[in-house]
Amino acid sequence: MAPRNPRRPYRDVAVAVPVSIPYQRYSIEAAHWWIARALKELTDRAGIRPADVDGLSVSSFTLAPDTAVGLTQHLGLTPRWLDNIPMGGASAVVALRRAARAVEAGDATIVACVGGDANHVDSFRKLLSSFSRFAQDASYPYGYGGPNGSFALLTDHYMRSYGAKREDLGRICVAQRDNALTYPHAIMKKKLTLDDYMTARPIADPIHLFDCVMPCAGAEAFLVTSADVAKDLGLPHATLLSAIERHNAFPDDPIQMRGGWAMDVDELYAMAG
């Protein structure tokens, strides 16, 4: 195996101006609208012009068939660094890491990292119909039951392997709802009890209603720049100490139950000092 370059620590990279556009269950606006609204809020709060943003990272499932490339024309931007990240819930961390390296390398001075999606009445159905050819080829011969059918098989395997009960999984959902209720823009405003979780209707055994993600529309954004630029702009900021990206960490596992962080956790903390 060829020797691998050692990962370098991050040097004076700032993360600033977290923006959240309140979510909606359904929306008639396209993903472009949500992303544009987040970008406007981001630049307004940072006290900069859109033209000052010379790096752009975009994550969106419902932006398709457009990508970050077409979005630059839609928004009137001329970035010198551009990234399109189709990684769902991991996209924010990936965007932060890549934008930080772009700032360090001098490829961009101010990077806007934006994630946004629309949710029309039939958006989720259309998204699933073309989400992954790989997943379709694997599941269609057996009869495709949607993502919850696949998650049910994984959940059942986990429960049998580790002795977890529905109550154990329910406590996670209850804790997540309790945490969300502290956020003023959360869609769900009602407290979830363990009894609510246990008595909810089944979706795909052992998955029940409150195990499932509810599609919605909304957007999130933040800026990545150098610590010096953040100070010059008067922006409160956090400094990035460590971040690592890895994909398909354990390819030989017949059922991938391990998180990829297990391969890099020691280096991650060592990098952070």
Range of the domain at 157: 144-211
Mode of pairing for the β-strands spanning 55-59 and 81-84: parallel
Beta-carbon-side half-sphere exposure of residue 11 (alpha carbons within 13 Å): 7
Q: Both 201 and 178 in a single domain?
A: yes
Are 58 and 71 spatial neighbours (Cβ–Cβ below 8 Å)? yes
pLDDT tens-place string over residues 19-29: 999 999 999 99
pLDDT tens-place string over residues 142-192: 776 678 888 899 999 999 999 999 999 999 999 999 999 999 888 999 999
Q: What is the pTM of this model?
A: 0.90
- Residue 1's pLDDT band, with cuts at 50, 70 and 90, is low
pLDDT tens-place string over residues 116-131: 999 987 776 666 666 6
Q: Both 91 and 172 in a single domain?
A: no
In the block, tokens 């630049």 appear at 43
Q: Both 229 and 200 in a single domain?
A: no
Are 66 and 118 spatial neighbours (Cβ–Cβ below 8 Å)? no
Q: Both 234 and 108 in a single domain?
A: yes
Beta-carbon-side half-sphere exposure of residue 125 (alpha carbons within 13 Å): 3
CB-based contacts of 126: which residues, under 8 Å, 6+ apart? Answer: none
